[in-house]
Chain A
Amino acid sequence: MKTLQRGLTLAALACLVFTATAQEIKVPKKPVHVEIPVSLAPKLKKLPKEKLDFLLSDKTNGFAARPELLFKRFETKTPKEIEAYIDGMMSVVEQSKFHPGKDEPSIPLNTETDGFNGWKVKRPTAFDTPRSPGPINLNRYMGAGPKLGIPTFFNLPVALTPEDLKAGKVDVAIVGAGLDMGSGFRGAAYGPRAVRTGEVYKGQGLVTPENMHVMVSPFNELNVVDYGDIAVDQLSTERSVDHIREVVREIAATGSIPMIVGGDHSLMYPDAAGVVDVYGKGKVGIVHFDAHYDAGKDEAHLLSHGQPVYRLIREQLVPGKNFIQVGLRGYWPNKESFEWMRENGFRYHPMAEVEKSGWDAVMTRAVTEAREGPEYIFISFDIDSLDPAFMPGTGTPEPGGLTMREALPVVRRLCAETKVVGFELVELDPLVDPGYTTALNSNRILRECLTGIAMHKLGLTQEHYLSPLTTEHTQGKYQKE
């Protein structure tokens, strides 16, 4: 992993951010026990040693899930055909590697262009009419209806600089980050736009009715602003992340809670890192809602929407034991990676646990764990943790996920019962959202966390608080079984 370390160090150095000293991550290296079936042994007698060694190694993993399955294929082959087959596998392994001289170790950029950093250069204030710092209200009318005016997150005022946040005593700054290079269906670059322009539930601005479950209105209790979007190099996740981290850090440093609307899940890396820069390495716990574990590694690209968890661990920003994962399902990760997660102290809650113990038990367990964890909590909400019935507009939908009636309470509870210092909602892709469903539900998830943060501010932090007014009509005795 030396190259990786150097590459990262370079990135950190070049951008004057924090240098990452590589930490050895425990990867279980189990001795490989491959036994050649007796019936096959005579056919392999004349096989050169290096080919036999290859056959006995774990390098055949990519060709057959278990060695037995590979040997079964050999049963009908002649010794010559078997050797050709092994040659084929060995050449694939060889070709897959990096070859200095033949392969580019990095992607060249045009450093001669005047616009090299054009994508992230900010507009100088000298170009604008002078104004005092503070949130800017864009509403022409008192009643800012959901269909009226310049679209902002929840029809909220806009802030552009850290000075605006400070002057406005802003509690939560919602910011867009339109990054969608991570694979899957692309289009998450338009996620922030979808949340801002969704007519339904966009909100009435500063005066907004209460959330019925708890009878608290976030916008009445908190100063919330739309902090605009963070610039992204649409052709490079790697080039984008330092700037994103910088803006998230800039928000957190003012004392506001950054709430990032993505964009793909590569964002978890700069978003959590930006928060960690302010609150300290190892001091932030991440509650990670997702169908996927996102701790992939050993890929040619150092960051994609499947690797942020690994990179946070690797750069010692968030240790494995600070991760609580909810909603994992599907065909990934494999057994070894689950074991690796256990060894690193992950507290994972896949849908398998939900199937076994029921949602209420799992929710209570996860929230309890978050309360025990580090003081500061960052919530990373990948909308594909929900079932595609609720979130069709996402890049890598996975059936069998959470329902909105499961997601809303856990998000509200986490934001009320723990000290949340950052929240991100990622992978909203309006291009594959045939109705308004995904934008609507994403909007509600964000509002639910804002409600929780407002409850926290009001001191409503007891376990699973619900409004006595709305949970009971009191016109008669509750009908018990």
Chain B
Amino acid sequence: MKVWKQGLLGALAWALALSMSTAAQKASSEKASPQKRSPQAGSPKAAVVIPADLTGKLAALGEARLEFLRSGKTKRYVHADLLWDSFRTKSIAEIEAIVDAMLATEEQEKFKEGRDMASIPLNTEATHFNGWKTKRPQELNPKREPGPINLSRYMEARSGIPTFANAPIALTPEDLKAGKVDIAIVGAPLDMGSGYRGAKGGPLALRAVGGASGNDMYSMVNPSEVLNIVDYGDIAIDYMSTERSMEHVRSMVKEIALTGAIPIIIGGDHSLMYSDASALAEVHGKGNVGVVHFDAHYDAGKDRAHLIDHGQPVWRLIHEGYVPGKNFIQVGLRARSPDVETFEWMREQGFRYHTMVEIEKRGWDVVMNRAVREAKEGPKNIFISFDIDVMDPAYMTGTGTPVPGGLTMREAQPIVRRLCAETHVVGFEIVEVDPLVDETYRTALNSNYILNACMTGIAMRRLGLTQEHYLSPLSSEHGQNNY
């Protein structure tokens, strides 16, 4: 049972690390441990009061059952009012059977030692246990000087080996340093988070379709002319475990950021936000990175059996003290979750959320200005996490969890360009591109345009074009007469 113990020890060590980071956070801020403060989405905060006309009838249930009814945990089975209504017409024996069934369900859902595996065993005897992430030694390759490698045969890199934004490639941190690289675009083909799977094809799709390179007409800036951009290849993934993949992704993103280059990660599913943002927090300091998070979903789920998936990265970043709640700016939320209690929790944590509800109320321009201004006020370093499902499925069909009623390209491009120009962006990720359900090239194309909008912004910043919502006077006006 040694392995089992090791597994348990591993889990314990992990839990300890979690509680330590929580403690550290507690010490540094007034806020209590988020684990204690944050209710699970859907779980009620307030107890439920049993209606007066039923208290007599239900007394026969006994204290344990009554306590359960008062806890409000019944909400996930049926709305409380409807439950009371049904109890009014049922016999006490029938009511008892229903409450017992709920209690039995609650009990079965919990972890039970001896019955349930506390962790997923791995074959530690496997010769290639770490084979998935073992790097190719440079000695096995022909000798070359460090620096970006240009793969195009012709001056105009229109054909040949597909790379992100038609950029040259780089393989090592030495290449990034030697090439004075400003932006390293790297793929992270991870797609275990649920929804339609296929996001591991995202990096391939963006390399294969155009739209990422070239002049931006809004600013008349061509990022490729201003910045040194490379394709940094893909980061290795254990396709059977998000958990095992996270640490390696984090180390690779860190490796890029430490050279001074800005990592742009192409996913892959949104679990990546955890590895990507935590890597940057490790480089720039915990709490020193703000995250502008575009998404239809809030992604701060927790209290699930699996410690990471594409719905939990925000919570894990908060919980481990990498990014406090107040450093999150969220744009585009509109899915079925979060519920009332979770929105309240987000407010308490200091989230600045901008739902599609706010946009319906105020209009896009107002919300965009507000979000950009907040990012400028926030911590100096900004990481942008762009889940393509923030967009309406009309623009991004190829994604795992599409939600109607989202942003248009004409709304998304300006805010991404502005954030990258007007704030100090230290990292950017585009996640959830799933070519398997992209019936046309549309999702990949639009994603590449989002990528270009950010690189344009970074180039504008380099050129000093950081004023509020800069647009080129040349392209925004024909100048033949007065407007």
Contact = CB atoms under 8 A, between A and B. Distances in A.
Contacts of A476: none
Interface string A445-462: 000000000000000000
Interface stretch (B115-123, B176-184, B337-345): B115-123
B129 interface: yes
A121 B123 CA distance: 28
B121 A11 contact: yes
B116 A100 contact: no
A187 B436 contact: yes
Given A105-B10, A183-B239, A299-B128, A10 B4 contact: yes
Interface string A99-110: 110011111111
Contacts of B14: 108
B364 interface: no
Contacts of A107: 119-120, 122, 241, 243-244
Contacts of A16: 115
Nearest to A234: B194
B304 A110 contact: yes
Given A3-B125, A187-B197, A239-B120, A121 B436 contact: no
Interface string A221-236: 0000000000001111
B198 to A, nearest CB: 6
A233 B194 CA distance: 10
Contact of A109 (B119, B122, B240, B437): B119
Contact of B243 (A4, A108, A115): A108
Contact of B303 (A95, A113, A127, A304): A113
A375 to B, nearest CB: 34
Interface in B1-20: 1-4, 6-7, 10-11, 14-15
Given A181-B192, A237-B240, A304-B240, A98 B129 contact: yes
Interface in A5-42: 6-8, 10-11, 13-16
Contacts of A97: 127, 129-130
A96 B131 contact: yes
Nearest to B194: A234
B190 to A, nearest CB: 12
Nearest to A185: B436
Contacts of B119: 106-109
Contacts of A15: 115-117
A11 B1 CA distance: 11
Interface stretch (A86-94, A250-258, A384-392, A404-412): A86-94
Contacts of B138: 88
B46 interface: no
Interface string B347-388: 000000000000000000000000000000000000000000
B105 A95 contact: no
A14 B114 contact: yes
B306 A110 contact: yes
A10 B11 CA distance: 16
B292 to A, nearest CB: 28
B126 A111 contact: no
B124 interface: yes
B322 to A, nearest CB: 18
A186 B125 contact: no
A121 B305 contact: no
A87 to B, nearest CB: 7
Interface stretch (B52-60, B93-101, B403-411, B417-425): B93-101
B160 interface: no
A103 to B, nearest CB: 7
Which of B11, B117, B198 lies at the interface centre, i.e. has the most chain A CB atoms within 10 A of its CB? Answer: B117
Contacts of B117: 10-11, 14-15, 109, 238-239
A6 B4 contact: yes
Contacts of B122: 7, 104-107, 300-302
Interface in A301-358: 301-302, 304
A142 interface: no
Given A105-B3, A185-B436, A84 B305 contact: no
B399 interface: no
B7 A106 contact: yes
B123 A113 contact: no
A106 B110 contact: no
Contacts of A186: 191, 197-198, 200, 436
B402 to A, nearest CB: 13
Interface in B142-179: none
A54 interface: no
Contacts of A87: 137, 139
Interface in A109-168: 109-119, 121, 123-127
A185 B138 CA distance: 31
B309 A235 contact: yes
Given A8-B121, A108-B11, 11 more contacts: A6-B1, A105-B3, A106-B121, A108-B14, A109-B11, A114-B109, A117-B111, A300-B132, A301-B122, A302-B121, A304-B240
Interface of A: 1-4, 6-8, 10-11, 13-16, 63, 81, 84-85, 87-89, 91-92, 95-100, 103-119, 121, 123-127, 180-181, 183, 185-187, 189-190, 233-239, 298-302, 304, 431-432
9 contacts: A10-B3, A14-B118, A105-B124, A116-B109, A180-B197, A233-B306, A235-B192, A298-B127, A298-B128
